[in-house]
């Protein structure tokens, strides 16, 4: 297990390859708030957070980090930090209230201002079109094939409006998390617990991705186009054939069904005795796969942790909470022993970051475009000290270990040599509303007081600024 008690910011900064992009990332539903400002209509997360018992601390999306009103302050923080890029998402229901019709003028004005201030500060905008905030009007959500068409239409509208100022377009973020937590386990919006009957949402999200790629290219956007998938290396908990089979099953449903169609043009083969679980992919139209697998300019990879899988039903524990539905599955997730953990209880295992990169390289080879790490970060119980400052040494170590591990993995002689790794986005710029965890988990390098909105850069912010200042000084 890697460990750096006192990461040397200057040494890490000096080791960054020329042109390697460093950014921060956020999502609109987690930071913007302002549900009553302008004409933003409800998203599935607004609806979900209003249901008793859904959110850990009973908080809602109404204010979150209040980025809607503090946009300039947040851009100034990024400018002072010295990052190259900022990855943010467009609030679908802010720009297209009720999920239909033309873009809203007030929504356009908000994102026009954000893009213009970023560019004025020399910060490259990377835009995610769909980061989980689906309009509530789409009653069946991603179970409905028509939602894919709606995403494509929305992508065309925002591409035409903002395409002259965006350097990177991400069609959809972590479709695996949407399918698994939102439709299979009931932990995230819209809160359905369908287990393997949730698999149609995989295909519809990927089809929406492909239609969005087509729409963005038709709009003539100047920025590159990609998708973001979350990858987790899967390890059998024991040496039995059953553990190995179930680990392989989890690898398919978490990693491969989302990446293989995009990069290889087909869904993965599964052992014959598991094929019945994947009936949703049995008769996928060839023309759909052609849309889904269009060449991309880059591939976004999110990494947070590995997964340890054992055969047999468990207590329903998942990385994002306990699900009664999960206890009905033929496998269970177990804790990695001997690793420190984040506030979420996720294992801090940077060596598996190298494994994730190596797996992607080995599986997709020449079909893999240039890669950006579009999210990597950790939640900790960060609190201001007596002097008002926030010392998050754990996050400093986490980021140093993971960034250096990724760079070493793709370097000559590294386990993932051959990947064209272009950049790394820290999740997250600021503490935010962490979905079903509400305000109980803090991922930011900037502390947010959720009562007052006050921003306080943490020691991880200072450390990253020092590293970025040292670039090119080896």
Say if residue 379 is preceded by a cis peptide, omega within 30 of 0.
no
Evaluate whether 9 touches 466 at the Cβ level (below 8 Å): yes
Q: What is the pLDDT of residue 50?
A: 95
Residue in 166, 169, 58, 172 with CA at minimum distance from that of residue 118: 166
Q: What is the pLDDT of residue 473?
A: 60
Q: What is the pLDDT of residue 38?
A: 61
* Annotated catalytic residue within 375, 408, 417, 434: 375
Q: What is the pLDDT of residue 472?
A: 75
Q: What is the pLDDT of residue 188?
A: 98
Query: Alpha carbon of 339 to those of 244, 345, 350, 413: distances in Å?
Result: 22, 10, 10, 26
Q: What is the pLDDT of residue 6?
A: 54
- How far from chain centre, in Å, is Cα 196? 22
Evaluate whether 380 touches 460 at the Cβ level (below 8 Å): no
Domain boundaries, the chain: 9-469
Q: What is the pLDDT of residue 207?
A: 98
455-457 vs 446-448, strand pairing mode? antiparallel
Residue in 173, 76, 162, 183 with CA at minimum distance from that of residue 123: 76
Residue in 135, 77, 100, 126 with CA at minimum distance from that of residue 300: 126
Q: Please count the CA atoms within 13 angstroms of the CA of 259 that sit on its side-chain side.
A: 28
Query: Alpha carbon of 422 to those of 133, 255, 267, 345, 373: distances in Å?
Result: 28, 21, 27, 30, 8
Rounded to whole angstroms, how far apart are CA atoms 243 and 312?
9
Q: What is the pLDDT of residue 3?
A: 45
Query: Alpha carbon of 76 to those of 61, 69, 115, 300: distances in Å?
Result: 24, 14, 13, 26
Q: What is the mean pLDDT of each run of 10 residues along the chain (474 residues)?
A: 63 95 98 80 96 97 96 98 98 96 96 98 98 96 98 98 98 98 98 98 98 98 98 97 97 98 97 92 95 98 98 93 95 96 98 98 98 98 95 97 97 98 98 98 98 97 97 69
Rounded to whole angstroms, how far apart are CA atoms 236 and 247?
5
- Residue 375 is a catalytic residue: yes
Residue in 269, 243, 272 with CA at minimum distance from that of residue 257: 269
Q: What is the pLDDT of residue 1?
A: 39
Q: What is the pLDDT of residue 2?
A: 43
CATH number of 9-469: 3.20.20.80
Rounded to whole angstroms, how far apart are CA atoms 226 and 298?
5
Where does residue 163 rank: exposed (0-12), middle (13-18), buried (19+ CB within 10 A)?
middle
Specify the residue for token string 């004005």. Answer: 109
């Amino acid at each position: 297990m890697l460990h750096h008690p006192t990461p040397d910011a200057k040494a890490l900064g000096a080791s960054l390859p020329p042109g390697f992009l460093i950014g921060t990332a956020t999502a609109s539903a987690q930071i913007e708030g302002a549900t009553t400002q302008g004409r933003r209509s409800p998203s599935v997360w607004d609806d979900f957070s209003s249901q008793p018992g859904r959110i850990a601390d009973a908080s809602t999306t109404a204010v979150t980090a209040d980025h809607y009103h503090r946009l300039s302050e947040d851009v100034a923080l990024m400018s002072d930090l010295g990052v190259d890029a900022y990855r943010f998402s467009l609030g679908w229901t802010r720009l297209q209230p009720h999920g239909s019709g033309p873009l809203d003028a007030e929504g356009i004005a908000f994102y026009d201002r954000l893009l213009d201030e970023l560019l004025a500060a020399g910060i490259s905008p990377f835009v995610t079109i769909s980061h989980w905030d689906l309009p509530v009007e789409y009653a069946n959500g991603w179970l409905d094939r028509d939602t894919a068409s709606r995403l494509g239409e929305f992508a065309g509208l925002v591409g035409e409006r903002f395409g002259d100022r965006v350097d990177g377009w991400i069609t959809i973020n972590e479709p695996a998390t949407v399918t698994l937590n939102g439709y299979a386990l009931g932990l995230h919006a819209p809160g359905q617990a369908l287990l393997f009957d949730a698999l149609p949402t995989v295909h519809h999200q990927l089809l929406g991705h492909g239609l969005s790629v087509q729409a963005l290219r038709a709009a003539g956007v100047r920025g590159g186009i990609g998708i973001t998938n979350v990858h987790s290396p899967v390890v059998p908990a024991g040496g039995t054939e059953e553990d190995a089979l179930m680990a392989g099953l989890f690898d398919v449903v978490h990693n491969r069904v989302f990446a293989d169609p995009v990069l290889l043009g087909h869904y993965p083969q599964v052992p014959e005795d598991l094929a019945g679980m994947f009936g949703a992919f049995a008769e996928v139209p060839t023309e759909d796969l052609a849309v889904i697998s269009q060449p991309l300019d880059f591939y976004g990879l999110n990494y947070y942790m590995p997964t340890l899988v054992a055969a047999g039903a468990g207590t329903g524990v998942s990385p994002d909470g306990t699900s009664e539905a999960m206890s009905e599955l033929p496998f269970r997730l177990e804790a990695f022993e001997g690793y420190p953990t984040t506030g979420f209880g996720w294992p801090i295992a940077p060596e598996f970051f190298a494994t994730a990169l190596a797996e992607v390289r080995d599986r997709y080879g020449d079909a893999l475009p240039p890669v950006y790490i579009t999210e990597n970060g950790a939640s900790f119980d960060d609190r201001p000290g007596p002097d008002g400052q926030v010392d998050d040494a754990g996050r400093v170590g986490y980021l140093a270990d993971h960034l250096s591990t990724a760079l070493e993995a793709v370097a000559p002689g590294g386990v993932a040599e051959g990947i064209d790794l272009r950049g790394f986005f820290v999740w997250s710029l600021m503490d935010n509303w962490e979905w079903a965890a509400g305000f109980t988990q803090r991922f930011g390098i900037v502390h947010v007081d959720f009562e007052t909105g006050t921003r306080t850069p943490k020691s991880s912010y200072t450390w990253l600024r020092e590293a970025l200042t040292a670039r090119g000084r080896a």
